[in-house]
Structure 1
Amino acid sequence: MASPPEQSDEPRSTSEGVHIGSKLREWRHESRTTLTEVSEAVGLSVGYISQVERGRANPSLEALKRLADVLGHTVGELFSNEAPPANPLRYSVSKSGQRKRIMYPGSGIMNELLSPDLQHQMEVVWVEAPVGATSGGHPHSHVGEECGIVLAGVMIFWVGEDEVRLEAGDAIYLDSTVPHRWHVGEGEPLKAVWLITPPTF
Structure 2
Amino acid sequence: MHDSDPAPRLDDAAAVVVAIGHNLRRERKRLHLSLQALSTRAGVSFGSISELERGLGNPSVNSLTRLAAALEVPISRLLDAPDGDSMVVRADARHLLPVYGGSDLARQVRRELLTPRSRSNLQLIRSTLPIGFSNEASPFRHAGTEAVVVEQGLLVVQHGERRMELAPGDTVSYRCSTSHWWANGADEPTIVLGAVSPFED
The answer to whether the 8 Å contact 2:84/2:117 transfers is no
Task: Please state if 1:85 is matched with 2:58.
Answer: no
Q: Which residue of 1 aligns with 2:108?
A: 108
Deviations 1:38-57 (A, max 9, x none): xxxxxxxxxxxxxxxxxxxx
The answer to whether the 8 Å contact 1:123/1:198 transfers is no
Post-superposition shift, 1:136?
4.5
Amino acid at match of 1:96: A
Q: In the superposition, relative to structure 1, how do residues 128 and 81 fare at CA in structure 2: closer, same or farther (>3 Å)? A: farther
Instruction: Tell me the TM-score normalised to structure 1 length.
Output: 0.55
Q: Which residue of 1 aligns with 2:193?
A: 193
The answer to whether the 8 Å contact 1:145/1:175 transfers is yes
Q: Which residue of 1 aligns with 2:151?
A: 151
Q: In the superposition, relative to structure 1, how do residues 116 and 131 fare at CA in structure 2: closer, same or farther (>3 Å)? A: same
Amino acid at match of 2:96: R
Structure 1: give runs of 5+ residues left out of the alignment.
1-13, 20-78
Q: In the superposition, relative to structure 1, how do residues 81 and 171 fare at CA in structure 2: closer, same or farther (>3 Å)? A: farther
Partner SS state of residue 131, structure 1: coil
Structure 2: give runs of 5+ residues left out of the alignment.
1-28, 35-76
The answer to whether the 8 Å contact 1:108/1:130 transfers is yes
Q: Which of 3, 9, 16 is the equivalent residue of 2:31?
A: 16
Q: In the superposition, relative to structure 1, how do residues 85 and 155 fare at CA in structure 2: closer, same or farther (>3 Å)? A: same
The answer to whether the 8 Å contact 1:156/1:165 transfers is yes
The answer to whether the 8 Å contact 1:146/1:176 transfers is yes
Amino acid at match of 2:155: M
Partner SS state of residue 97, structure 1: helix
Amino acid at match of 1:129: L
Q: Which residue of 2 aligns with 1:62?
A: none
Q: In the superposition, relative to structure 1, how do residues 193 and 15 fare at CA in structure 2: closer, same or farther (>3 Å)? A: closer
Distance 1:15 1:175 in 2: 27
Q: Which residue of 2 aligns with 1:31?
A: none
The answer to whether the 8 Å contact 1:144/1:196 transfers is yes
Post-superposition shift, 1:18?
1.4
Q: How does 1:159-178 map to 2 (within 5 A)?
A: 159-178=159-178
Instruction: Name the Cα RMSD after superposition.
Output: 3.0
Distance 1:82 1:130 in 2: 29
Partner SS state of residue 33, structure 2: helix
Distance 1:188 1:171 in 2: 19
- Where is the helix percentage greater, Structure 1 or Structure 2? 2
Aligned residues with identical type, % of pairs: 21
Distance 1:81 1:98 in 2: 10
Q: In the superposition, relative to structure 1, how do residues 109 and 159 fare at CA in structure 2: closer, same or farther (>3 Å)? A: same
